[in-house]
């Protein structure tokens, strides 16, 4: 699973510059939609386009491996399901309920 390190990069930038960068400000500066940024931070297993990654690397002046890290599924917290599996499970429950 890939994990985006946006919160860490925002915290590092704030520490270096002393200025807080909100997701809205980051969205304005990069052209990446604020909702996309929020999903990258909050939705486990979220997938985004490479253009967004490029814009974020440019903003943070970092390499891709500083923005994204690979976390093997065995090390990922068990309490959360990846976004796709959770959505599929909810959809399956709705279908089953509708058939009753």
Q: Residue 78's pLDDT is what?
A: 61
Chunked in runs of 10, what are the mean pLDDT values of the chain (100 residues)? 94 93 95 96 92 96 95 69 54 57
Residue 36: domain span: 2-99
pLDDT at 3: 94
Judged by DSSP in three states, 89 sits in helix
pTM, entire model = 0.71
For the chain, the domain total comes to 1
Amino acid 15: pLDDT = 95
The predicted structure's pLDDT at residue 67:
96
């Amino acid at each position: 699973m890939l994990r985006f390190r946006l919160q860490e990069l925002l915290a590092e930038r704030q520490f270096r510059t002393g200025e807080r960068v909100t997701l809205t400000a980051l969205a304005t500066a990069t052209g990446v939609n604020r909702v996309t940024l929020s999903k990258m931070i909050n939705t486990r297993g979220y997938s985004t386009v490479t253009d967004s990654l490029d814009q974020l690397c440019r903003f943070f002046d970092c390499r891709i491996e500083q923005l994204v890290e690979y976390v093997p599924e065995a090390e990922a917290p068990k309490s959360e399901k990846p976004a796709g599996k959770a959505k599929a499970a909810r959809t399956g429950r709705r279908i089953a309920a509708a058939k009753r």
